[in-house]
Amino acid sequence: MLQTFGATKMQVLQNVIIPSSIPTIINALKINVGLSWVGVIVGEFLVSQAGIGYLIVYGGQVFKLDLVMTSVIILAILASLMYQCVAILEKRLMKGRS
């Protein structure tokens, strides 16, 4: 049984559990951003050449680059944008915590 010392379970959840788990959640987001984009790009490029896969093929033709180099550039741009979004989210969630 959970000893809450006069606090309700919802108060413990809001004031203790969620704030203490925010750094772990943010770190998991940072790690998985790159992995998710690799899966998206490889999956779309190999299966249908639609979406980001199409962007890789089209970018390679326009800029006269090899498809591998184009995919690396696009992956780097998208991963850095997603990392910046996670960093902004981290600043907002961690505001007020020391």
Q: How does pLDDT run across 32-51, given as a tens digit for each residue?
A: 876 776 676 666 666 656 66
Q: How many CB atoms lie within 10 A of CB 78?
A: 18
Q: Higher model confidence: residue 45 or residue 17? A: 17
**Number of structural domains, the chain?**
1
- What's the distance, Cα to Cα, between the start and end of the chain in Å? 31
Q: Say what the pLDDT of residue 61 is.
A: 77
Q: How does pLDDT run across 77-97, given as a tens digit for each residue?
A: 877 888 888 888 888 877 766
61 by Cβ neighbours in 10 Å (0-12 / 13-18 / 19+) ranks as exposed
Structural domain includes residue 79 = yes
- Work out the average pLDDT over 10-32: 85
Structural domain includes residue 14 = no
Inter-CA distances, 59 with 56, 67, 83, Å: 5, 8, 23
Structural domain includes residue 16 = no
Structural domain includes residue 19 = no
Structural domain includes residue 15 = no
Give the residue numbers spanning the domain of 36: 27-92
